[in-house]
Amino acid sequence: MPKDLPQITRMLKAWRDARDPKAVPGFTAQYGVRRRKGLTQAEVAMLAGVTEGWYGKVERGTAGHVGEEFLDRIVRILDLNDAQRAHLYFEANGCAPEPHIRPDASTIDPVLSAIIHVLPWPAYSFDSRWDIRVFNECAGRDFPWMLHGVNVMIWALTYPEARLQLVDWEETWAKPMASQLRLAHKANPDDARLTEVCNIIKERDEGVRRLLEHDVTTVTHPDGDRRSLYLPHQHEEEEVEFVTLPRMRDSTRLMIVMPGDIAQQAKDAIPSTIASVLAGTEVAPASS
């Protein structure tokens, strides 16, 4: 690589070349499996939801001031760590990024946290604004955005790469989730954080704004829903079932994303399990 290239050009090219396309959920399903690592400028632009020409300007350092939301898209797509993120911000805009929003550890339920970390499937807890409190290693592996973001609704409804991962994005994912958010906001119009989440989503995506304001889908929760998505390093879609459990005292919810076949096996086993329990607890006749 020529030494006279701008630093941002050399950094982004190096990070693109090192990125494994199979680690981007849905990428190989859309574009096919290939042996070599690396993403092209056109592919990064597609994943970021911008034109190749615009992304090219960013990579050449000729785009002027670059929006923070766009820079964080690049961070997620290329899976940059905090040091790389800071370097990108300095080279693009000459300033440090805002720290990632993290939940206050003192407000995290230790019992719920312990449960989440021992589960063998993706699991996370979130509050009534859909801000994630805790997630386990499986969730970070299957939903890489969690390593860089905090809000489930903002991810699913505005991150361009979510549309690649979530199968039948608009009908199966966006409309039901927009309905949940709309109904929650109507019930809690004075909740400042919930209002902020709605405003962020409306500002970032005009199509989703219309869903929030005009769509008539009515869904209050996803518990028991089955939906399909792509996981990292897989090129075939996976069906999952959502299991949602509430923690009543503080409105925190636990979400478990179970593989569909395992969830079905559990359901199939319930009748025989109940029968076995009942058979083992029959009341013995009184002795004479």
Q: Please, what sign has the CA dihedral across residues 78, 45, 204, 213? A: negative
Compute φ and ψ for 178, nearest 5 degrees: -60, -35
The dotted CATH code for 105-268 is: 3.30.450.180
Q: How far is it, in rounded angstroms, from Cα 213 to Cα 20?
A: 38
pLDDT for position 278: 61
pLDDT for position 36: 85
pLDDT for position 284: 47
112 SS3 class:
helix
pLDDT for position 213: 93
pLDDT < 50 regions, the chain: 282-288
Burial of 26 (0-12, 13-18, 19+ CB in 10 A): buried
Digit-coded pLDDT (tens) for 183-212: 999 999 999 999 999 999 999 999 999 999
pTM for the model stands at: 0.86
Q: How far is it, in rounded angstroms, from Cα 72 to Cα 89?
A: 9
The full set of domain ranges for the chain reads 7-93, 105-268
The dotted CATH code for 7-93 is: 1.10.260.40
pLDDT for position 175: 96
Among all chains, which residue has been given the structure tokens 């000729």?
Answer: 62
DSSP state for residue 286 in the 8-state scheme: P
pLDDT for position 150: 82
Selection from 108, 124, 151, 156 nearest residue 257 by Cα: 124
